[in-house]
Amino acid sequence: MKALTYHGTKDVRVETVPDPVLRDGDDLILRVTATAICGSDLHLYRGKVPGLTHGDILGHEFMGVVEDVGPAVTNVARGDRVVIPFTISCGDCFFCDRQLFAACETTNPQEGVEKGRGAILNKKSLRSAAALFGYTALYGAVPGGQAELVRVPKANVGPLKIPTGLPDEKVLFLSDILPTGYQAVLNADVGPGSTLAIMGAGPVGLMAAACARLKGVGDIYMIDHHPYRLAYAKATYGVLPINFDETDDPAEQIIQLTQGRGVDAVIDAVGFEAKGSAVETTMATLKLEGSSGKALRQAIAMVRRGGTISVPGVYAGFIHGFLFGDAFDKGVTFKMGQTHAQKYLPELLGFIQEGRLHPDEIITHRMPLSQAADGYKIFNDKAEDCRKVVLTP
Ligand SMILES: NC(=O)c1ccc[n+]([C@@H]2O[C@H](COP(=O)([O-])OP(=O)(O)OC[C@H]3O[C@@H](n4cnc5c(N)ncnc54)[C@H](O)[C@@H]3O)[C@@H](O)[C@H]2O)c1
Ligand SMILES: [Zn+2]
Ligand SMILES: [Zn+2]
C-alpha cells in the first residue's frame, strides 16, 4: 500500500510499504477514505519530537471503511464506515472507566521495544498514558493513518460508526481537532455571556471558536499573526481579532477592553512552539528550554482574577518563564492535556447532524494522498492561506 512516511526534518514521502495485518483479536483493518494533517503533525515534521524512526507512518486524523476485523471485534463489522479517534484506549482500565481515555494505562507499552513514555520527564514508576496513532515511539510506535490501510487496535472502543448520508468531510474532524476544541471550551468553564480569549487561529483555535459559539459565549478575542486566519475567524465565528505582530501587548489590550479585568477564560491553542520570543525559541532549539512559554505567559496576563486557562496546545518539559507567581496572585485555574476524544464523539456527531457544527468549513486544501508531502509543506509554511489539508488515498 501507499503511506506517508517520515525521513527526517521536513522530509516526508509517500512510499510503498507492506500492508498492515491483524495482530490482536480486537484489531480491525481500515481502508482509509479521508485523512487530515494536524498541527501536531507539524511538530513531527519540524523534527521537534524525539522517537521517530526513518519510515514511520504518520497521521492520526483519519476515517474509512472497515476492511477486516479480528475475532474479538463485536462493535463494528466489515463494510462499516467509521471515524477513528486519535487516542487508543482499552475501555476498561482505571482511567477509561473514568472516561479519561487519553490517560488509558494499557495501550502504550510499558516495556519491550515498543515501550513509550510520552512527553513526561519526571515519570518515576508511573504508567505511560495512551498510545496515539502515528506519534513516535513515545506514544507506542503505532503506524498512522495517512495511508491507504491502517491497523486500528481496540476496535470495540474507538471507532465511531457514521450514519449514511454524512459525507467524509463533515465528520473527519471528529478524529481529533473537533473534540479537542470542544474539550478546550468545556475545560475553560465558559457559558452564555462569558468572555474568552483564544490564542492561536489554527484548526484547533478555530474549532474552539466554533464550540464556544455553540455554548453561547459572548465576546471572543482571538490572537494570532496570520491575517488570513484572523480574518476567517472574524467572518465565520465573529471573533475580535488581535494580530500580535501589530500590537505590542495583546494582554494589555484585552485588559483595557474588559473594564481593566481580563477575560473569564483563555484557551491556549498554540503550544510549545509559540512564536514571539526569540530568546525562548533559541533556548528551546538548544534544548535549554523544553517549551516556549510565550503564549502561556500571555494567557496568565490576560485572564481575569479567578479565571481559567485551558490548554489544548501541546507542551513538553520545563519552561523557565512560566510566572507561576502571577497565576497564584490571580487565583487562576489550569486545565489541560490530550483530548479524551472518545468521550465526546456521540454528542459532537449529534451537533453535526443537527447542523449546529460545520467543522468541514475550515478545509482549504483537498489533495490526493500521493501529494501529501506538498500538503505538509503548504500547511507548515501557512502558504496559499492554508487552514486545513484533507488527503484522499
Ligand atoms: N490536546 C490535544 O489533544 C491536541 C490535539 C490536536 C492538536 N493539539 C495541539 O494544538 C496546537 C494547535 O494545533 P493547530 O492544528 O491549530 O496548529 P497550527 O500550527 O496550524 O496553529 C497554531 C497557530 O498558533 C499561532 N501562534 C504561534 N505563536 C503564537 C503566539 N505566541 N500567540 C498566538 N498565536 C500564536 C500560529 O500562527 C498558528 O496559526 C498544537 O500544539 C497541536 O499540537 C493538541
Ligand atoms: Zn492532532
Ligand atoms: Zn484504558
DSSP string, 127-156: PP--EEBTSTGGGT-B--SSBSEEEESSTT
Same fold, 2-176+339-392 and 179-336: no
Give ligand 1 pocket residues (Cβ under 6 A): 38-40, 42-43, 176-177, 180, 199-205, 223-226, 229, 244, 269-271, 274-276, 294-295, 312-314, 338-339
CA 86 – ligand 2 centroid, Å: 7
Cβ-contact 264, 289 below 8 angstroms = no
> Pairing between strand 2-6 and 12-16?
antiparallel
102, three cell numbers: 487519553
Give the atom of ligand 1 at the shortest distance from the alpha carbon of 201: 39
Ligand number, closest to the Cα atom of 98: 3
Helix then strand then coil, % of the chain, to nearest 5:
30, 20, 45
**Neighbour-count burial for 244-271, b at 16+ CB within 10 Å, e otherwise:** beeeeebbebbbebbeeebbbbbbbbbb
What was the pLDDT predicted at 114? 56
CA 238 – ligand 3 centroid, Å: 39
In sequence order, the 6+-apart residues with CB closer than 8 A to the CB of 347 are none
Give the atom of ligand 1 at the shortest distance from the alpha carbon of 102: 3
* Confidence band for 288, pLDDT divided at 50, 70 and 90: confident
Cβ-contact 254, 262 below 8 angstroms = yes
- Report the candidate in 289, 26, 69 with the shortest Cα–Cα distance to residue 156: 26
* Confidence band for 223, pLDDT divided at 50, 70 and 90: very high
Handedness of CA 116, 11, 370, 39 (dihedral sign): positive
DSSP-derived letter for residue 272 is T
CA 19 – ligand 1 centroid, Å: 32
Element (H, E) at 211: helix 203-214
| Residues in the 5 Å CB sphere of ion ligand 2 | 38, 40, 176
Rounded Cα distance between 162 and 159, Å, is: 9
What was the pLDDT predicted at 348? 98
In CATH, which superfamily holds the domain spanning 179-336?
Answer: NAD(P)-binding Rossmann-like Domain (3.40.50.720)
What was the pLDDT predicted at 50? 87
Ligand number, closest to the Cα atom of 388: 1
pLDDT in tens, 77-130: 999 999 999 999 999 999 999 999 999 999 998 776 556 888 888 888 899 999
Least confident of 110-124, 325-339, 347-361: 110-124
Break the chain into its structural domains and give their ranges: 2-176+339-392, 179-336
What was the pLDDT predicted at 263? 98
Rounded Cα distance between 305 and 89, Å, is: 36
**Residue identifier of the C-alpha nearest atom 3 of ligand 1:** 338
The arithmetic mean of pLDDT across residues 187-200, rounded, is: 98
Give the atom of ligand 1 at the shortest distance from the alpha carbon of 379: 20
CA 85 – ligand 2 centroid, Å: 10
What was the pLDDT predicted at 71? 98
Question: Which one is predicted more confidently, 34 or 282?
Answer: 34
How far lies 271's CA from each of 125, 126, 225, 309, 365, in Å? Answer: 27, 24, 15, 13, 24
The arithmetic mean of pLDDT across residues 36-65, rounded, is: 96
Rounded Cα distance between 238 and 52, Å, is: 40
pTM (global) more than 0.75: yes
What was the pLDDT predicted at 367? 98
Cβ-contact 35, 391 below 8 angstroms = yes
* Confidence band for 282, pLDDT divided at 50, 70 and 90: confident
Give the atom of ligand 1 at the shortest distance from the alpha carbon of 338: 3
Q: Between helices 177-188 and 341-353, what is the axis angle to 10°?
A: 100
Residue 342 has pLDDT above 80, yes or no: yes
What was the pLDDT predicted at 173? 98
The arithmetic mean of pLDDT across residues 74-78, rounded, is: 98
Pick the CATH number of 2-176+339-392 from 3.20.20.70, 3.10.20.30, 3.40.50.300, 3.90.180.10: 3.90.180.10
